[in-house]
Amino acid sequence: MHKVAIVGRPNVGKSSLFNRLVGRREAVVADFPGVTRDAKEGTMLYQNHRITLIDTGGLWSGDEWEQAIREKAEWAMEGSQAVIFVLDPREGLSAADYEVAEWLRRLGKPVILIANKIDSVTHNSYLAELWGLGFGEPLPVSAEHARGLDDLMDRVLEYLPEDTEDIPDIAPIRISFIGRPNVGKSSLLNALTQSERVIVADQPGTTRDSVDVEWDYAGQRFVLVDTAGIRKRPDTAIEDFAMQRSQTAIERSDVIWLVVNADEIGDHELKLANLAYESGKPVIVVVNKWDLIPDEDLKLTEKELNQKLFHIQYAPRVFTSAVNEYGIHEMLAEAMKLYDKWKARVPTAELNRWLGVWLMKQRVPNFQGRNLRMYFMTQVETAPPTFAIFCNREDYVTRAYEGFLMNRIREDLDLAGIPVKLKWKQKGAFNKKGGDDDDDQADKKKKPTHHREPSKAESVKAAKAAASGEKPERKSRAERRDPAEKKVRPERPRSARSRANES
C-alpha cells in the first residue's frame, strides 16, 4: 500500500486537507493550533491507486508536545513514498517553516510543496516567496473550497510505483478502546502492538482524536482504535467534539474494550458500558494498572470491583498492566472469542428444540385465561444475534418472561457477554385486520344460548305475586322452553312393507 505523509507547522490546514482528500471528516479541525497530536491514517482511492494518507501534528510548535509530535511525524515518513509540505503563504514564511524545510531536506524524502488557503487566482501572488525553500514549484490549493486537488494528486502519482498489491478479502476486526481520560488506553495499544504508535503522557486528555492503527497478528487483521477520554461534562469544544468522535468509533467497532482503573470506578463506567452494549457491540472490561494493587489487597479489590460492576456483570473482565504487559494476550483472546460468537448463526432446528425445553421450564404468561402460544423461533440477523419468535399475541408477553428467555438464550446457546436482541412476531388470525386469536375463535364456535324475554302479562303477574308474598308458580321444563328452541323431529322414513300395508 502506498503511503503519503502530510506535514507542516501548526494551523496551516493539514487536517482540513486530509479530510478533503479522504472524502470524510476523519480528523478534528479547529481555528487554533495544536489540535492534532498523534499521526492519523486515512485511506483514499485515486485512479486505481489505494493510498494511505497520514495526518501529523504541527511541527516546531514550541510547546510541551513538540518533541513527541516530531517523533510521530518521523514515524509517518519512514514508509512514505512522498511528503506533502503544507504552508499558509498569506501569513508569510515563518521561522518554523524554515525549520521544517531544513528537517525535510535531511530526511531525503520527495517533497510536494503546497500553498494552502489560496481561494482564488488573485491570491497566486503569495506564491513567489515559497520558491526560496528549494522544493520546486508550489501548488496553489484550497482545502476548504476543494481547489487544486486534482493537480496535487497528479503530482503525488509521479512518485508512486505501480499498484500491484492485492487487497485482502478478509475484513479486519475493529476494536476500540474507550474509557475515562488517563486510564491507560494509549499505553495498552502501544503494549499490544509493541510500538510507540500513539503519544503517552501522564497528563489527562493527551489523545484528542480517534486514532486507527492497522495491525496483523497470527494471520488476522485488526484495526485498533484509540479514542479520546470521555468525560461526564466536556470542558472545551475540542473535548466535546472528541467525545462525539469516540461515540462514532463505538458504533463503527466490532468489539469494545472498556478500560478502567482498578481503584477508580463509578457510574461513568457503567454509562459507557451501557452505551456500547445498547449499540449492539460486545464489551470487555479491561481493569488496567493492576500492578499498582498490593498483593495483600488483590482479593479485596476484586471483590469491590464485582460489587461496583454488578450492573454490567454480563461483560467479561480481564486484568492487565501496560507497564509489564500482564494480561495483554488474554485481552486479545477474549476479544476474538466474543467476535466469533457475535457473528455466529444458530440453526433454526436447534433453536426450536431449545424453545421446547424453555416452555417446560417456565409457565407461559396468560391474559384472562388465554395463554401465550409460541409457534417457532428463528435467527434473523447476526452481529448482534437477533432472534424472532412467532406467537399468537405479542401483547401477552411480559417483561419478566422476556428476561427469562434472554437469560436462557445467553446461557444455553453459549452467548454470554454478547448483546442479544429478541423480536416478537404475531402469526395467525389475530394478525389480520379485525381478526381474533385461536382462543377467541374457539369461543365463537360454541353454540350461543338464547333467552326468551317474558311477556308483559307475565311480568305484571310476577310483580303482584312478589308484592303479596306469594310464591310464583313453578312451570315445568317443557313450559319454560322457548318455542324457538324446540326442535322439529324429522319424519322417520318408512319401509316398503309398511307402505304396502297402508295401501
Q: Domain ranges for the chain, please list them.
A: 2-157, 173-342, 348-441
DSSP states of 449-482: PP-PPPPHHHHHHHHHHHHHTPPPPPPPHHHHS-
Residue 468 assigned to a binding site: no
Tell me: is residue 408 an annotated ligand-binding position: no
Integer Cα distance of 8 and 97 in angstroms: 7
* Under 8 Å between Cβ of 320 and 334: no
Mean pLDDT in residue range 223-231: 86
The two beta strands, 111-115 and 82-87, are parallel
> To 5 degrees, how large is the angle CA 317–CA 322–CA 325?
85
**Is residue 182 annotated as involved in ligand binding?**
yes
Residue 246 assigned to a binding site: no
Count Cβ atoms within 10 A of the Cβ of residue 467 and give its class: 0-12 exposed, 13-18 middle, 19 or more buried: exposed
The pairs formed by 447-453 with CB atoms below 8 angstroms and a separation of 24 or more are 450/482, 450/484, 450/485, 451/482, 452/482, 452/484
Task: Please answer whether residues 51 and 2 qualify as being in contact, where contact means their C-beta atoms are separated by less than 8 angstroms.
Answer: yes
Examine the pLDDT at 288 and tell me if it is beyond 70: yes
| Banded model confidence at residue 96, pLDDT cuts 50, 70, 90 | very high
Note the CATH number of domain 2-157: 3.40.50.300
- Provide CB contacts within 8 A for 386, sequence distance 6+: 379, 380, 420, 421, 422, 423
Binding site annotation covers 15?
yes
Q: What is the identity of the amino acid at 400?
A: A
Confirm whether residue 59 is marked as ligand binding: yes
Does 118 appear as a known binding residue?
yes
Known binding residue 186? Answer is yes
Q: 166 falls in which pLDDT band (50, 70, 90)?
A: low
Q: Dig out the grid coordinates for 288 from the structure.
A: 488496567
Q: Is the pLDDT of residue 471 over 70?
A: no
Over residues 258-284, the pLDDT tens digits come to 999 887 777 777 788 888 888 889 999
**Residue 181 among known ligand-binding residues:** yes
The verdict on whether residue 14 carries a ligand-binding annotation is: yes
According to the annotation, is 57 in a ligand binding site?
A: yes
Is 291 flagged in the annotation as binding?
Answer: yes
**For 152-156, 216-220, 442-446, which range has the lowest pLDDT when averaged over its residues?**
442-446
- Please provide the size of the chain in residues: 503
In sequence order, which residues have a C-beta less than 8 Å from that of residue 286 and are 6 or more positions away?
A: 188, 257, 258, 259, 260, 317, 318, 320, 331
Min mean pLDDT across 2-6, 85-89, 118-122, 184-188 is at 118-122
Q: What is the pLDDT of residue 240?
A: 76
Q: Is 13 annotated among the ligand-binding residues?
A: yes
pLDDT tens-place string over residues 104-151: 999 889 999 999 999 888 778 888 889 989 999 999 999 988 999 999
Any bridge partners for residue 485, and if so which? none
Pick from 319, 235, 313, 223: nearest CA to 274: 313
112 is in an annotated binding site: no
* Residue 180 is assigned to a ligand binding site: yes
Q: Is 117 annotated as a binding residue?
A: yes
Mean pLDDT score across all residues of the chain: 84
**Topology at the third CATH level for domain 173-342:** Rossmann fold (3.40.50)
Question: For the segment 1-23, what is each residue's pLDDT rounded down to a tens digit?
Answer: 789 999 999 989 999 999 999 98
Q: What is the pLDDT, as a whole number, of residue 397?
A: 94
According to the annotation, is 288 in a ligand binding site?
yes
Do the annotations mark residue 58 as ligand-binding? yes
Share of the chain above pLDDT 90, in %: 45
Each residue of 381-423: pLDDT tens digit?
Answer: 999 999 999 999 999 999 999 999 999 999 999 998 899 999 9
pLDDT at 434: 47
Question: Which pLDDT band, with edges at 50, 70 and 90, does 353 fall under?
Answer: very high
**Residue 378 among known ligand-binding residues:** no
Tell me if 366 is assigned to a ligand binding site.
no
For residue 184, say whether it is annotated as part of any ligand binding site. Answer: yes
Helix (H) or strand (E) holding 19: helix 14-22
Distance CA 166, CA 47 (A): 16
Q: Do the domains spanning 173-342 and 348-441 agree at the CATH topology level?
A: no
Indicate if the pLDDT at residue 367 is higher than 90: no
Separation CA 424–CA 374 (nearest Å): 9
CA atoms of 11 and 164, how far apart (whole Å) = 36
| Residue 56 marked ligand-binding | yes
Distance CA 179, CA 181 (A): 7
Q: Is 386 annotated as a binding residue?
A: no
CATH fold, domain 348-441, is GMP Synthetase; Chain A, domain 3 (3.30.300)
459 annotated ligand-binding residue:
no
Question: Where are any strands of DSSP class E within 66-195?
Answer: 82-87, 111-115, 139-140, 173-179
The verdict on whether residue 469 carries a ligand-binding annotation is: no
Query: Is 4 annotated as a binding-site member?
Result: no
> Of 20-34, 202-216, 470-484, which range is least confident?
470-484
What whole-number distance in Å separates Cα of residue 278 and Cα of residue 421? 10
